[in-house]
Structure 1
Amino acid sequence: MRICIYGAGAIGGYLAFALAEAGADVSIVARGEHLAAVRRHGLCLRTAEWERRVEVEASDQPEDLGPQDYVIIALKAHSVPPLASRITTLFHDQTAVVTAVNGLPWWYFYRHGGPLENRTVESVDPGGLQWRLFGPERAIGCVVYPACEVEAPGVVRLIDGDRFVLGEPSGETSERVLKLAEMLKAGGLKAPIRPRIRDDIWIKLWGNLSFNPVSALTGGTLEQICRFPETRAVIRQMMIEAQAVGEALGVRFAIGVDKRIAGGEAVGAHKTSMLQDLERGRPLEIDALVSSVQEIARHLQLPTPTIDVVLGLVKLRAVTATSQ
């Protein structure tokens, strides 16, 4: 089984390590010092208890890696469209594309069955580029739960978690998703297959939609923004508005708003990924996490007043951050 991880940073590096441990023929697309370190010393995974290295083929030229059975995209959503044509150089006729990316995926309405069947999400996939180049029939959903970071070039630290939820857009348990789940499990990961992967996407998105922009605007950790009454109220209202959108699409929310907020608070003094990106001068992952929900709400003619306000503020915050 040939598997390429496109974007072998924190999450991608963790996946590459686990799959190599399982015996898959793993390659990664990386760049810069991280790529150089992996080539020299292998890919290192570090936890609080142990540290191990694996050898993986690594390149910044995907066209040199050859056709793959699975391509796992582990990039920020806004990074994918400019690279789409290069990603396709890894495909053969049956290559599956696994979207280990936060937010609403570009294939969301493929095999959806609702009124927006086969509609592209412009804020995630401008001009339907990924839909056209990748083909939605290749897509396998993946909801990422572990917390990892690149501690040094070639070194990924696993902070917490080992669960990657998988699912076909159609809800079927296909041979290709079964094989991938088995390989991930052989590498020590949890990889449940969900018949309703969109429910899992929305539970994760629920937190990303609200926690991330509020933390970026305030500089607060998850614990702080969930405990401070005024920011908690904003987060709660954003979640209520998003839930109405999700339910209009047929999503079932297995937990309530307050329990989801409590889960964020329990993480403690952790900075969200959007706040970390802001502090490091990186582009913010706004569209896949927030704009996408607003876009769908507009199609459904549902109001999202709090989401609209926070989205406008965080978009300007991203602009002012780059001009400082």
Structure 2
Amino acid sequence: MRYVIVGAGAVGGAIGGRLAQSGREVALVARGAHLDALRTDGLSLVTPQGTERLRIPAYAHHEDLGPLRRDDVLILAVKSQDTEAVLRDWSAAAVAGGGTAGEVLPVVCAQNGVANEGTALRWFAEVVGMCVWLPATHLQPGTVVAHCAPLSGILTLGGFTSTADGVTGQLAEDLDASRFHAPVVPDVMRWKYGKLLNNLGNALEALVGRDGMPDAADLWQRTRGEGVAVLDAAGIPYSTEEERQAVQGDRMGVVPMPDVVRAGGSTWQSLTRGGGVEVDFLNGEIAMLGRLHGVPTPTNDLLRREVARLAAEGLPPGSTDAAELRSLLAEAEPNL
């Protein structure tokens, strides 16, 4: 198998780098200054075990690879707002021996949120879900930091389509040999909905900054509480924090590294880089389900709106504080 990492940022770069370190064949797909750095100097993968510069083939587009191979596995690690455009494009790519990528190749959704697998199924016949627990940072072109040890992360896998079972097993074996734990489960979306509840805090962290999170504990409880109420009303099952901790055990934990400052989460990093944010598919997912099932979600609505404002205005993370958010929330609630 060759693993084609479509979106070689923090998560994609860490997965691709670890697979390459274990001898698996990998191709990275990136853009802009990051792509230039990957092509010129290779991927600098920084982990608690040390820093290694990996010479992994890097491309801008599937056309650069030529016809895709029949043993290719596409690992999609772009942000959710880019999923549809990327998959529409890649699904039409020619595959050696006949057919298109959408017809004959599997795609693995290594992404936050719960909308990607359904979107992928519009374009690909074989879809694998991946619930990603992988604290990683990508702020500097050509460099990805994976912060945990002894394993870099837990990547729970499951076929979103019944045809994906074969590739899921092989992928799990390769990830398990690459400093990950990759359990295969029959209900991967239940795990991804559980992860969604945790990811609702990404927006809050981006707004108040990591240092402001202790003062925003009440807002975090409201945010997650709305998410739980919405999923319960919708009858959507989700994994619990106790289940997650049981799987994690002592397999992974954040390890301080000399001269490495751990940045914020994915939304914090997106604002720092000045790119788009996926808040519409995290807090926005809860807001959408709340409207469908008659559950008010004022806190998630506010966080989605404020993060989108920061991104549109080019403002950095930490541009507001908990007191300001409470004030905005108080203004909105009389209208509910």
If the TM-score is normalised by the length of the shorter chain, which range does it land in?
0.7 to 0.9
* TM-score, normalised relative to structure 1: 0.77
Q: Give the match for residue 35 of structure 2.
A: 35
C-alpha distance in 2 between matches for 1:57 and 1:170: 30
Matching of residues 213-232 of structure 1 within 5 Å: 213-218=203-208, 220-221=209-210, 224-225=212-213, 227-228=214-215, 231-232=216-217
- Equivalent position to 2:105, from 87, 95, 109: 95
Counterparts in 2 of 1:5 and 1:280: CA distance versus 1, 3 Å: closer
Q: Structure 1: 5+ residue runs without aligned partners?
A: 109-124, 260-265
Q: Give the match for residue 67 of structure 1.
A: 68
Matching of residue 238 in structure 1 with residue 238 in structure 2 = no
CA contact (8 A) 1:151 1:157 kept: no
Q: Structure 2: 5+ residue runs without aligned partners?
A: 95-100, 246-252, 257-261, 320-336
Matching of residues 127-206 of structure 1 within 5 Å: 130-132=120-122, 134-135=123-124, 137-150=125-138, 152-160=140-148, 161-169=152-160, 174-206=165-197
C-alpha distance in 2 between matches for 1:2 and 1:155: 22
Counterparts in 2 of 1:278 and 1:51: CA distance versus 1, 3 Å: closer
1:5 deviates by: 0.4
CA contact (8 A) 2:138 2:145 kept: yes
1:55 deviates by: 3.1
- Identity score, percent: 29
C-alpha distance in 2 between matches for 1:101 and 1:50: 26
Q: Give the match for residue 50 of structure 1.
A: 50
Matching of residues 119-134 of structure 1 within 5 Å: 130-132=120-122, 134=123
C-alpha distance in 1 between matches for 2:2 and 2:272: 37
Matching of residue 300 in structure 1 with residue 285 in structure 2 = no
1:74 deviates by: 0.9
C-alpha distance in 1 between matches for 2:53 and 2:235: 44
Matching of residue 251 in structure 1 with residue 237 in structure 2 = yes
1:173 deviates by: 8.3
C-alpha distance in 1 between matches for 2:89 and 2:55: 24
Counterparts in 2 of 1:310 and 1:85: CA distance versus 1, 3 Å: closer
Q: Deviations over 1:108-129 (max 9, x none)?
A: 5xxxxxxxxxxxxxxxx6xxxx
C-alpha distance in 1 between matches for 2:178 and 2:46: 15
RMSD over aligned CA atoms reads 3.0
Give the total of aligned pairs. 288
* TM-score, normalised relative to structure 2: 0.75
Q: List 4+ stretches of structure 1 deviating above 4 A.
A: 170-173, 266-270
Q: Deviations over 1:21-60 (max 9, x none)?
A: 3333321111233323333343332223322233322111
CA contact (8 A) 2:137 2:269 kept: no
Deviates more, 1:279-288 or 1:68-77: 279-288
1:73 deviates by: 0.8
C-alpha distance in 2 between matches for 1:27 and 1:172: 24
C-alpha distance in 2 between matches for 1:31 and 1:252: 34
Counterparts in 2 of 1:18 and 1:215: CA distance versus 1, 3 Å: closer
1:217 deviates by: 2.7
Deviates more, 1:295-304 or 1:70-79: 295-304
